[in-house]
Structure 1
Amino acid sequence: MKSESKSQHIGSVMHHELKQTLGTWQLWGIAVGLVISGEYFGWSYGWASAGTLGFIVTAIFVAAMYTTFIFSFTELTTSIPHAGGPFAYARQAFGSTGGYLAGAATLVEFVFAPPAIALAIGAYLHVQFPDLEPKHAAMGAYLVFMALNIVGVQIAAAFELLVTLLAIFELLVFMGVVSPGFRWSNFTMGGWSGANSFSMGSFHGMFAAIPFAIWFFLAIEGVAMAAEEAKNPRRSIPIAYITGILTLVVLALGVMVFAGAAGDWTKLSNINDPLPQAMKFIVGEHSGWMHMLVWLGLFGLVASFHGIILGYSRQIFALARAGYLPEWLSTVHPRFKTPHRAILAGGVVGIAAIYSDELIQFGGQTLTANIVTMSVFGAIVMYIISMMSLFKLRRTAPDMERPFRAPLFPVFPAFALVAAVICLATMVYFNLLVAIVFAIFLALGYVYFLLTRHQRDAAPADVLLEE
């Protein structure tokens, strides 16, 4: 009987085990690819409230938060290389309830970001094919990239690396094409006042612009959710994270400065395609460069969309494996060794969000804006819990193996924590209705958490993380 029980346990673990196939370059591709769509759209709305110079201050503050966060977060990722990422760290530090809060926040971030990007993909395709309904195109993008994620993480990661490199190449081409028209005076003209008529001054505007600066870097932490599939996570993940955040900071500041210096930046501050419109200042509307930028712009969107599907599926998989979600969501495909049910479940929620205008379009904001804001709320709450977990584990588990230790501890994680709290307070102030909806999501999830303790008790033993 003992032998039979042991074999059943091993079979259960294998049934919920991911395959280790990812190398350093692939992890770097995931890190940058998860985020790079933020360089293509979304950020220029920050100019509307803060102006170019005011938004530079906001962007530098947020970049500092992300840089210190990633250097600190990497300690957690390498110490606990778990597909649950922040959920696993908080569970180790604060128990089941902490795990729930971090897992739920991460799930909101990664499930709500893809529909916003899918809608942007649909909008790009609609420009080229006017008869194509953007929402239908967005749903088509879900179907294609869910299928690609299901057939194997190695194929998915190779594709992610390819489109990420193409997206970076396009951003460099953009900066090169507009550089002949670069005028610093264009960028600084009216740079401390927003383009919106309701702008209330630069200081107020800089705080209002925080979500758009966060969009530059949102979701880079998703590499943590590929940790169980990394060949050597204790070495490859620090390299991927650090080089990834440095790549993104350089690209974000470069794209923003070159776009603003190309012409009248106020014409770029309330649109979804600032890069093509900035290029028009230099090459005109019918240039071949314009057509190239519009088509290649899809690579940046696809890289982030595809990468975040990988991220949300691993979060759903890890939560289900630990009994926080229904167990059947943690099943790994017998042939492809990917969490296919988790991939499909997140896609169903995302597609429903795309077609839920009446439910999500409230507070005077567009559907996309509210989806993005909801995703940012999840991210900020997760950042706060993760940094708290780092401090707690340093105190309660001093002997834990830490292949990478946060530099300048406790300064780096403390700065990341305080900055995240400032961002959260600002988000609540400027987006109260979305904050209330986010809080309702967490409350309903917590009721489910309390009612399903038996699922966690019956969950298979987690060989990477014991509660």
Structure 2
Amino acid sequence: MHDVRVELTRRLGTGDAVVLGLGSMIGAGVFAVFTPAAQAASTGLLAGLAIAAVVAYCNATSSARLAAVYPSSGGTYVYGRERLGEFWGYLAGWGFVVGKTASCAAMALTVAAYVAPVGWQPYVAAAVVLALTGLNYRGVQRSVLATRVIVSVTLLVLAASVIAMFLSGRDPGGPSASFSLGGVLQSAGLLFFAFAGYARIATLGEEVRDPARTIPRAIPIALGLTLVVYAAVAVALLWRLRPEGVASLADPLAHAVPHGMAPVVRAGAALAALGSLLALVLGVSRTTFAMARDGHLPRVLAAVHPRFGVPHRAELAVGLVVAVLVLLTDLRGAIGFSSFAVLTYYAIANASAWTLRRSAVPVVGLAGCVVLAFSLPVASVVSGCAVLAAGVLAYLVFSRRAKASS
């Protein structure tokens, strides 16, 4: 008896895919990532942003080329398997699932940090995750509509904040600290965390109409718009607060605007993180679905809801895992670990793209991912290597069992 390969419904157009990418990238760190980046790079913050953008562009280009050839859910999990072999596809999928699960926890905790009183934040974060899981369960089109609203509001808040910062006087400050190449690279690795949302477009390949045309268009559009927003916010923050001011504040945007605007900025930050979390859960559940369908995760997760057309068991599993994580982890650890794991994911994407077209883009992307990953704080590198090694060990164990049973 042959297995029936379950597939998802193609409902999303180019605009929908761009919105989901923007919801992931703009909400992923624009309100918080500049603080650790400024701590690492000081006056070299913009150089770090430029390096992160170049690596992100290479990754996006490689992902778009691959997605046009392999328009299935799973992103680099599929690309690595088809171009490099089953092990590399598995490693990419493992890195994406664990890294982006940590990102989900980070975004849920960010939402709670802006809206919940101290002591209640983990519980509010867990409630937010479960609520968004329920929204995704009802169908991807509802998720796109919610993300479109969130992205629109976030962009309005950011535009108003940038204008207000340039109209305000510049804070007094002494000479800024000098920067080093290592500090700039570390800031680029941290800033990359905020750019990485375009992976969500590729992981939705099985739900996009005409993926060979839609995905290669949607990814660079979303990335380009995000870069413009990030550059505008970074320049405004550096002008208003100076590098040392940005580095000293956990919420620099709220402090950089006039006092009366601060509540609006805080509300916008919570909403942006909410939009990012919505798209993140969507992407992680699709990769989980693809890996389960291929037997690398429990096959019970490879089910599509007969009415809503979504991988409902994978979505429920991801939502429950993230809800538990927010009760056990903190924001800093989640961000650092996520960056390392996702850079590993994109390194495999670039290696896969090189087998399609041997050009400079995947080479630069691969080298950039490796350099930025090992420029991150030591704790992030160690924990990232440990979890990836655990994934490799699990793969070897299950592979041997599968061979023995056959």
Shorter-chain TM-score category? over 0.9
From 256, 262, 266, the counterpart of 2:234: 256
Amino acid at match of 1:160: T
Aligned to 1:136: 123
Aligned to 2:35: 44
Q: Deviations over 1:342-396 (max 9, x none)?
A: 1121222222222224xxxxxxxxx2111111111111111111111111244xx
Amino acid at match of 2:253: L
Q: Is the 8 A contact 1:186 1:260 kept in 2?
A: no
Aligned to 1:464: none
Alpha-carbon distance, 1:186 to partner:
6.9
Confirm or deny that 1:99 pairs with 2:69: no
The 3 A distance-change label for structure 1 pair 202 and 441 is: closer
Of all paired residues, the percent bearing the same amino acid is 25
- Write the distance in 2 (CA, Å) between the matches of 1:454 and 1:82: 27
- Write the distance in 2 (CA, Å) between the matches of 1:434 and 1:447: 20
The 3 A distance-change label for structure 1 pair 218 and 191 is: farther
Aligned to 1:75: 65
What is the DSSP-based 3-state SS (H/G/I as helix, E as strand, rest coil) of the residue aligned with 1:332?
Answer: coil
Confirm or deny that 1:417 pairs with 2:366: yes
Aligned to 2:302: 330
Q: Count residues in correspondence.
A: 402
Alpha-carbon distance, 1:269 to partner:
1.4
What is the DSSP-based 3-state SS (H/G/I as helix, E as strand, rest coil) of the residue aligned with 2:374?
Answer: helix
From 131, 155, 166, the counterpart of 1:168: 155
Confirm or deny that 1:238 pairs with 2:216: yes
Q: Is the 8 A contact 1:82 1:88 kept in 2?
A: yes
- Write the distance in 1 (CA, Å) between the matches of 2:266 and 2:129: 20
Amino acid at match of 2:122: K
Alpha-carbon distance, 1:41 to partner:
1.1
Confirm or deny that 1:65 pairs with 2:58: no
The 3 A distance-change label for structure 1 pair 455 and 329 is: farther
Q: Which moved more, 1:221-230 or 1:446-455?
A: 446-455
From 321, 340, 346, the counterpart of 2:318: 346
- Write the distance in 2 (CA, Å) between the matches of 1:100 and 1:204: 31
RMSD of aligned C-alpha atoms? 2.1
Q: Deviations over 1:397-422 (max 9, x none)?
A: xxxxxxxxxxxx61222211221121
TM-score for the superposition, normalised by structure 1: 0.81
Q: Is the 8 A contact 2:190 2:339 kept in 1?
A: no
- Write the distance in 2 (CA, Å) between the matches of 1:125 and 1:210: 29
From 315, 327, 351, the counterpart of 1:388: 351
Amino acid at match of 1:41: A
Aligned to 1:159: 146
Confirm or deny that 1:278 pairs with 2:256: yes
The 3 A distance-change label for structure 1 pair 263 and 101 is: closer
Aligned to 2:44: 54
- Write the distance in 1 (CA, Å) between the matches of 2:250 and 2:323: 21
Amino acid at match of 1:40: F
Structure 2, gaps ≥5 residues long: none
Q: Is the 8 A contact 2:91 2:391 kept in 1?
A: no
Amino acid at match of 1:71: T
Alpha-carbon distance, 1:123 to partner:
0.6
- Write the distance in 1 (CA, Å) between the matches of 2:201 and 2:119: 34
What is the DSSP-based 3-state SS (H/G/I as helix, E as strand, rest coil) of the residue aligned with 1:48?
Answer: helix
TM-score for the superposition, normalised by structure 2: 0.93
From 353, 375, 383, the counterpart of 1:437: 383
Alpha-carbon distance, 1:227 to partner:
0.8
Confirm or deny that 1:27 pairs with 2:17: yes
- Write the distance in 2 (CA, Å) between the matches of 1:256 and 1:131: 29
Aligned to 1:364: none
- Write the distance in 2 (CA, Å) between the matches of 1:33 and 1:449: 33
Structure 1, gaps ≥5 residues long: 194-200, 358-366, 395-408, 458-467
Amino acid at match of 1:378: A
Alpha-carbon distance, 1:456 to partner:
7.5
- Write the distance in 2 (CA, Å) between the matches of 1:242 and 1:383: 16
- Write the distance in 2 (CA, Å) between the matches of 1:245 and 1:455: 42
Alpha-carbon distance, 1:268 to partner:
2.9
